[in-house]
Amino acid sequence: MVVPDASSKPAGGSVQPNRQRAAPIGLFSLPVIVAALGYFVDIYDLLLFGIVRVPSLKDLGLAPDQISTIGGRIINWQMAGLLLGGILWGVLGDKRGRLSVLFGSIITYSIANIACGFVKHVTFMDPVTYYALMRFVAGVGLAGELGAGITLVSEILPKEKRAIATSLVAGIGVLGAVVAYFTVKLFDWETAFFVGGGLGFGLLLLRIGVIESGMFTSITEQKHVSRGNFFAFFTNADRLSRYLKCIGIGIPTWFITGILASFSNEFGRALGIAEEIQPGLAITWLYIGMAIGDLSNGFISQSLKSRKKAIALFMAIALVFSLLYLYIGIKSATIFYCLCLGLGFGNGYWAMFVTISAEQFGTNLRATAATTIPNMVRAFLIPMTLSYQALKPSLNIINAGAIVGLVSFIIGFYAILTIPETHDKDLNYLEE
């Protein structure tokens, strides 16, 4: 319920008492740099299994058909970890602080990734079961990084710089996928896991000097305020509507990443491209485009003075490139990868999507929202993949992908066009 107020109170909650504001923090301050590097390592580790899936499972002695089925099962374990971790870290972020999540999540996924590097040498249990378990633990850890980082950056920077700062975080962060691809190419899949874990522990040293959000610190003094109550999203119709719409905004991004890019080898064969399309290379070009898009989106949002218009514009670009990808009749691998670059640019509203998710909710639920929402979107890949696989036999690969994409974009456009605008919104308020 929104409590009326004569002042400029944000929709969805009550304003906290006025406090002396600290000196403004710049775009290239330590919290922004550390959040960007944290997301860089997060993306590196999140996509690493997808890149090394075939060679790592082949080294474990699996047959080609087993690599497909068991590899899919391990990915689903990782996505389940992301879903569970999103709730866990989101609640902890509002109860214990944004920094506790940044430290805890990175320790969790760094240990899990190093453990994945030893999978070939495991003798105390079935190596495949061990691999799936470690990817589940990695998923739990990876779930906390982006939401906590975006929440912290959004709360400590002035509202005039929020969009650009969060775009810098994502623009730098998504390049982790590119580094993961080339690490595997230059070394091997085991070394790539060790590098990911090592990068994570290196970040812990940088995080020592990062300050906690003043908005969060102020509400810890208010003992009557309920913080990090995940079920609060479901006890109020307006709050639930905002929560579901935030999830809807992100769904097209994972249709492109999880279907069009991850299954790009299947789409390449269906399109009649002579050269074998490599999913790892398709994902790399996609994320290069996302880096450019994420960096651009913040400036466009600031110029348009609207989060909604900037996201809708990029969503429309992603839709156009999806149609070209599926129906233009590509015959060249080079053109195919160029379209992946364009898809990535359209997908470059991910940071703004997480930012708008943080801005929709009060300080006592903000980390919970910003951490659970992107992981709910990632978990949506499971029904999207199942739908795509179920539709292929009757509709063929191209049309099956198109149907899943159509539903995704309908949900996405409805959500962004109907959700409240948050540009220049004061975030110093509480959810009732």
Give residue 3's pLDDT. 40
What is the pTM (predicted TM-score) of this model?
0.80
Q: Is residue 178 part of a domain?
A: yes
Give residue 224's pLDDT. 55
Q: What beta strand segments (E) does 74-183 contain?
A: none
Going by the DSSP 8-state scheme, the letter that residue 364 receives in this structure is T
Total length of the chain: 432
Q: Is residue 329 part of a domain?
A: yes
Which one, of 71, 20, 82, lies nearest residue 49 by Cα?
Answer: 71
How many other C-beta atoms are found inside a 10 Å radius of the C-beta of residue 139?
Answer: 30
Burial of 31 (0-12, 13-18, 19+ CB in 10 A): buried
Distances (CA, A) of 324 to 192, 195, 321, 402: 34, 37, 5, 11
Q: Is residue 405 part of a domain?
A: yes
Number of domains in the chain: 1
Q: Is residue 10 part of a domain?
A: no
The CB-side HSE value for 165 (13 A sphere, CA atoms) comes to 27
Residues facing 430 on adjacent strands: 14
Q: Is residue 11 part of a domain?
A: no
Contact indicator for 99, 74 with CB cutoff of 8 Å: no
Q: Is residue 383 part of a domain?
A: yes
**Containing structural domain, residue 68:** 25-431
Q: Is residue 401 part of a domain?
A: yes
Give residue 100's pLDDT. 67
Give residue 310's pLDDT. 93
CATH number of the domain that residue 148 is part of: 1.20.1250.20
The two structure tokens encoding residue 79: 């996505």
pLDDT in tens, the chain (432 residues): 444 333 344 545 544 444 444 445 666 777 778 778 888 888 888 888 878 888 888 888 888 777 777 887 888 889 889 888 888 887 877 676 666 666 778 888 889 999 999 998 888 899 999 999 999 999 998 887 777 777 777 777 777 777 788 778 877 888 888 898 889 888 889 999 999 889 888 877 776 655 544 444 555 555 555 655 788 888 889 999 999 999 999 999 999 998 999 888 889 989 999 898 888 889 889 989 998 998 888 889 888 989 899 999 999 999 999 999 999 988 999 999 999 999 999 999 988 888 898 888 887 888 788 888 988 898 888 899 889 988 988 999 999 999 999 999 999 999 999 999 988 777 766 667
Q: Is residue 76 part of a domain?
A: yes
